[in-house]
Structure 1
C-alpha cells in the first residue's frame, strides 16, 4: 500500500488512558526530550560497540537480506506465507516515515481505527476490529511498553512518530496464548531501525510544516558478519492546535526519542544482544472547559531496556532475556501530580526444530508490575508457561497450536489457547483460519486506586477469523477476512458500586458481552509499470448487549493511487472515508463525532540516488471533524522534508 495516506470523576481519573464508556475530558499525555549527557553517553557507547562488532569485518556495501519473516505471529519467526493469522508488515519509509505519526499510517490498514484528544502529541489510542487500546498489546524491540500506571494498561500513540522505526507488524485477533493479558484485539510489534548493509550506513531526515512543526531524525549503524549496532535519535517540536474548542489557545508539543540496539554472534552457538528505548517530552493541554482553564502541561519520560542471550545446543535454540520498562508522567497542577509505573520481565524461550515439518516452541516468563501515583500504590507478579507446535503436514498446509497458562499473584490462573492454519490452495491462493481465547487482567489502577476493587477478575474472550488471499504475481494482491470476537466478565466504572467506598462509584465486573464482528478487505494492483491502485475497507459491528460501541466506525474505507511519473519523480493521493460513528455519552452536545472524509497527497523527487525531497499534504480539503467528542483534529496541513541515506 502506498504513502499518505469529566465533574468530579474526570479529575479523579488517571491521565493517559481511554475509557470505553466515552470522552471523559482528560489531559493529553506526551512523550519527549532526552538529556544531552545521556545522548552523548549512548552515542559514545554505540561507536565503541561498532568498533568491537566490526573488528576484522568486510566493509563492502553489500545487501544484507534476512528474508520475509513475521516475528509476532508465533513464538519463533515464521515465513509470511506460513501463518494462519491476519498480519500486516510495514517496513522502511512505509512504517511511518512518510506520516506525521505511526498511527496515521496504521489507520489506513484494514481493521484499524483511532481516537485522539487533539493534534500531534495529544492522547491517542488505537482500535483493532472495534476493540480499543486496552485490548491491544504493544512491544518495541521486544519490550512491553503498555503503561502500568494508566487507568488501563495501554500505549499512547499520540506523539509516537516514525523516528527510528524500521518495521511494524500488526497482528489481529486474540493472541493471549502468545502474549498474555491485553492481547485480545491484537498485537503491534515495533522494531527500531537496523542497518542492512555490511559496514557503516544510516538515514537522516528533516521536515518542517504547518502549526510551526519542525522535526529531524537520524539513524546510524554498522553491520558485520558477526552482528550489528544501531542508534537512532529523533526530535519534534510543534506549536500545535487548540485541542478543545472552548478556547483558541494552541497546545504545544515537544519530544525526543532515542533507540539503541546491538547484537553480536560470539560464534555459531552463542549470541548476545540488547536494546534501549527512551522517550521524553512535554505537552500543553486545556485542563478544564468548566473553568476555562487552558494552563495544563504534562511532562513524560519513558525508559525501556532489554538484554538477551541465545545459545544453540544441537537442535534446540535457547533464549534468555530480561526487560525493563518505566514510565513517569508529571502534572504539577493536576489533582494527581504524578503517575509512575514499572515493569520487569525475565523470560526463557526454547525452540526445537524436530524435523522439516515440526517445530516446538516452549517457554516460561516471570514479570512484576508496580504503580505509584500518590494514593494509588500497588503491585503484582505473574508467572507464565507456554508451548507452541508448528506443524507442516504437506507443502501446502501449515498448522499452529499454542497454549499458555498465566498464574497471577492477585486473581490466580488463566489458561488461553490459539489454533491457526494456512492452506495454500495454489501458488496464488491461500486460505487462512484462526481461533483463540484471550483475557485482559484488571489493571493495577482498577484494583488499587480509590475507585478500585482488589476482587476483580480478568475479562475473557473468544475470537476467530477466516480469510482468503489471492496474489497476481508481482502485480498485486487482494485479501478478504471475516472476523468475530466476544468478550465477557467486563470491567467498567460503575457509579452504583460501593466496594471501594469512594462515594462516587467503583470499577466493577458488570454484566454484559461485547461482540465485534465484520469483514476486512484490502488490495493493491499495478495498473501499469507507473501506476498502482491500493485500497482497504472494514465493516465493523461492535456492540455490548446490543448497544453500539462508541467511537467505533461501522464503515472505514481507503482508496488511493501511487504514481511514478519518471525515474526520479513520484506522487500519491489517497482518500479515507469513515462513516456511522456513535459519540460517547460524555461527548458535548455540539460534538463533531461522525462521518468524515480525509484526502492526503504527496510528491517526492530523488535529488540523488540516496537523497529524496518530498512534500506531504494532510486533510487536503480542510475537513472539520472529531474522533473524540469535544477534541479538535488538525485541519489542512502541509509538510516539506528531505530524507537521505548514506
Structure 2
C-alpha cells in the first residue's frame, strides 16, 4: 500500500500541467466551505480560537480529527489505551458529553455513545468547529459540555481538486504512507464533490529512550499498525442563490492493532487485541429552502451503519483463541434520523429558529461463534427553540431551550451463563430540559465581550446502562441523565490588524454524574466484588483559556494558546479525574519567504495527568518540539517536510501506552 501511495507521489510530481486554475497554498488552502453543514448561533461571533481551517490543518500537518482539534485552547487529546482509540476532551468533558457531527449530522457508535476520532482523516474537510460551554440547542441532545462539527467541502470553480501523497519514517525505515485525492466541479445550478483519503501505518516508532520490558522490546511498537481509507461523494443542486439540496455518501474502512500495556499497574490486564474491521457507512441529505425574504426551512435526513469486529487472542502471536481471556465480539449498529429547522426574521431585530430532531439507534451485539445475538434499541426525540435579539448595533441577546425525550425500545441479556436463552432488561425512559442565555456585547471595533449561562444534559449510553464490563460489573438500567450548569465570560481584543487576543473564564457544576461505585455486589463464583455505574457524582470544573495571534512583520507569524483547568470531585475529593492535564501550553512561530514557502517551529508543553482515579498512576509531564517546512515549487506543486517529536522524547498521554518517538514526514501536493 505504501509503495502505491509513493507511486502517486511521483505521478503528482511530474504533472504540473494539470494546474488549470491554481488555488492558493500555504496560508490559504483555497478550499470551499459547505455552509449548509454548519450550525451557527445568530449574533454570536465564532472566532478562530474555536475553528481549525483546512489551511491550518495542512500547515500543521494534522492528518486526523484528534490531531487537528488538539491545536485549540481548552482541548486536550488522550488515548483509550486498552482499545487504541483517541479521545478528545473539551474543557474536561469527553466525547460522550461533547458529541461529534459531520455537517451537523451526529456521529457515534450507538452502544458506546462516542466514536474513535483517530479514524477520521482531515484531508477532505474544509474545517472543524468546536463549541465550548455555550452550544446551540439546534445540535440536539447530549451536548453537556459542547459539540464538535466537521464541515465538508463545497466546490467553487468549474474544475478544482488536489492530489497529496507522502510517507513517514522513524530513524531507520518507512513506517507509514498516506495520500488523498479530491476532485470537484461547480456548474452553477449543480455541483459534485468526490474525495478519497488513506493512511496506512505498519507500526509506530518508539523513542530511543524507551526502556524495553517484558511485553515490548522497543523500536517498532508491537501491534500498533493501523489502516484507514475513507471515500466521499457529494452531489448538490442550487436552483438559485438561496436554496440548496445535497446528498452525501461516505464510506470508511479501518483495521487496527492494540499495543500491549507496558506500565507498572499490576491490576491492568495484558490484552492481545485486534480490530479486524472498523467500518462506517453513511448517507445523508441536507436541504435549505427560502420562504420569502425573511424565512427558511432546513431539513436533514441520515442513515449510518457501524460494523466493528474485535478479536481477543491468547498471546503475542495473535493466532489462537483457546484461553479464558480469548473471545470474539462484533458490533453491527445502525442509526436513522433527521431534523427539520425553521428560521424567520419576520419580527424586527429578532432571528427565531425552531427545530424538531429525531434519532433511532440500534445495537446488535454478536459474541463468539454459535452464540445468539443481543439487540438494543433507543429512540431520542427533541424539540428546540432559539432566538437572537439584536437589542442594538452593539448588543445581542441569545436565548435557547430544548426538551429531549429518550425511549428505550429494546434491551436484551442472556438469562443465565449458558447463554441458551434471552430475557429483557427493565425498559426505562428519560427526558431532560436544556436552557441557555447569552449576552454578546461589541464594545467597539477593538473589544467584544460575551457572557453566558447554560443548563445542559446527557443521557446515559447503552453501555453505561447495560454493560457487565466483561464480568466485572452489574448493569444499571435506571441511570438518569447527567446535568451541568455552565457559565463563563469570553473576551476578544483586537488592538490592531496585526494582533488578536482571546481569553475565557468558565465554570461547570455537574450533578448526577455517572461514576463507578465499587463493591456493590459480591460474585461468589469468581470471588470478586463487582462495581456499578451510578448517578452519585457532583463535581466542579473551572478553567481559564488564552490565545493570541500576532504578525509583527510580513515574514513572521506567531500563535500561542494556554489552558488551565481544575476538576474537583465534590462527592469524593479523593477520586481524581483522569486523562486531562491541569496546564497546557502550545504555539508556533512561522517564518515566511512568501505565501507558499515557509519554515515553522511548533511546540507544546503538558503537565502530568492522572491515568487512574486513585491518583497512583500518572502520565508524566512532557514537552515536544516539531519542525515543519513548506516549499511552493510552482503554482501547482507544493513540497512539505516535517519532523515530529524533534528531540525524540519518550512520553505518554495514558500511563503504560508510549507515544511515537521522532518521526520524519515528506509529502507533495498537486492542486488544480
TM interval, shorter chain, is 0.7 to 0.9
Q: Which of 189, 193, 199 pairs up with 1:226?
A: 189
Aligned to 2:440: 422
**What corresponds to 1:457 in structure 2?**
480
What is the distance in 2 between the residues matched to 1:65 and 1:157?
23
Report the alpha carbon displacement of residue 102 of structure 1 after superposing the two structures with TM.
Answer: 3.0
- Provide the rounded CA distance (Å) in 1 between the counterparts of 2:240 and 2:51: 31
**Alpha-carbon distance change, 556 to 270 in structure 1, aligned in 2, over 3 angstroms:** closer
Give the Å deviation of 1:118.
6.2
SS at match of 1:93: helix
In the alignment, which of 587, 590, 605 is matched to residue 577 of structure 1? 605
Asked if 1:311 is matched to 2:274, the reply is no
Whether 2:303 is the aligned partner of 1:324: answer yes
Q: Measured at CA, do residues 492 and 65 of structure 1 come closer, stay the same or move farther in structure 2, by a change above 3 Å?
A: closer
| Aligned counterpart, 2:11 | none
Q: Cα RMSD between the aligned structures?
A: 3.2
In structure 1, the residue matched to 2:276 is: 298
Which residue matches 1:405?
Answer: 403
Aligned-pair CA distance for 1:430? 0.4
Task: Tell whether 2:445 aligns with 1:467.
Answer: no
- Between the aligned partners of 1:403 and 1:538, the Cα distance in structure 2 is 29
Paired with 2:341 and 2:232, the residues of 1 have a C-alpha distance of 24
CA distance in 1, matches of 2:541, 2:187: 47
Q: Distance in 2 between matches of 1:481 and 1:582?
A: 25
Q: Which has the larger radius of gyration?
A: 2
| Aligned-partner SS, 2:619 | coil
Structure 2 partner of 1:525: 550
Q: Which residue pairs with 2:340 in the alignment?
A: 348
Residue by residue, what CA displacement relative to the aligned partner does 1:29-53 show, whole Å, maximum 9, x if unpaired?
xxx99xxxxxxxxxxxxxxxxxxxx
Matched, 1:495 2:454: no
Paired residue for 1:380? 378
Shift of 1:493: 3.0
Q: Deviations over 1:42-65 (max 9, x none)?
A: xxxxxxxxxxxxxxxxx9999998
Give the 5 Å matches for 1:148-547.
148-150=110-112, 153-175=113-135, 177-196=137-156, 198-210=157-169, 212-241=175-204, 246-248=215-217, 249-267=222-240, 271-286=244-259, 294=272, 296-314=274-292, 315-333=294-312, 335-355=327-347, 357-374=349-366, 376-409=374-407, 410-450=428-468, 451-498=474-521, 505-545=530-570, 546=573, 547=575
Residues 535-614 of structure 1 aligned to structure 2 (within 5 Å): 535-545=560-570, 546=573, 547-566=575-594, 568-585=596-613, 593-614=619-640
Contact 1:280 1:299 in 2 (8 A): yes
**Taking structure 1 as reference, are residues 229 and 482 closer, same or farther at Cα in structure 2, changes over 3 Å only?**
same
Gap change, CA 1:412 and 1:87, over 3 Å in 2: farther
User: Could you tell me whether the CA contact under 8 Å between 1:96 and 1:105 is conserved in 2?
Assistant: no
Unaligned runs of at least 5 residues, structure 1: 1-31, 34-58
Aligned mates of 1:107, 1:523 — CA distance in 2: 16
Say which SS state the counterpart of residue 103 (structure 1) adopts.
helix
Displacement, 1:582?
2.3
Partner of 1:94: 56
Aligned length: 579
**Inter-partner Cα distance in structure 2 for 1:449 and 1:519:** 36
Shift of 1:327: 1.1
Structure 2 unmatched ranges of 5 or more: 3-20, 25-29, 207-211, 263-267, 313-325, 367-372, 408-427, 469-473
On the 8 A contact 2:437/2:453 being kept in 1, the answer is yes
Per the alignment, do residues 283 and 623 of structure 1 end up closer, same or farther by CA in structure 2, a change over 3 Å counting? same
Distance of 1:343 and 1:444 partners within structure 2: 14
**Per the alignment, do residues 366 and 171 of structure 1 end up closer, same or farther by CA in structure 2, a change over 3 Å counting?**
same
Pair 1:292–1:515, CA change in 2 (3 A): closer
In the TM superposition, what is the alpha-carbon distance from 1:271 to its structure 2 partner?
3.4
Displacement of 1:534 = 1.0
- C-alpha change, 1:376 and 1:595, in structure 2 (3 Å) is farther
Whether 2:87 is the aligned partner of 1:125: answer: yes
Question: Is the Cα–Cα contact under 8 Å of residues 300 and 338 in structure 2 kept in the other structure?
Answer: yes
CA distance in structure 2 between the aligned counterparts of 1:406 and 1:438, rounded to whole angstroms: 11
CA distance, structure 2, for counterparts of residue 85 and residue 498 of structure 1? 50
Q: CA contact under 8 A between 2:134 and 2:146: conserved in structure 1?
A: yes
Change (3 A) 1:405 1:500: farther
Report the secondary structure of 1:95's partner residue: helix
Comparing 354-363 with 84-93, greater Cα deviation is found at 84-93
Q: Distance in 2 between matches of 1:599 and 1:347?
A: 44
In structure 2, the CA distance between the partners of 1:292 and 1:401, relative to structure 1 (3 Å rule), is closer
- Give me the whole-angstrom Cα distance separating, in 2, the residues matched to 1:481 and 1:269: 35
Any conservation in 1 of the 2:205–2:661 contact (CA below 8 Å)? no
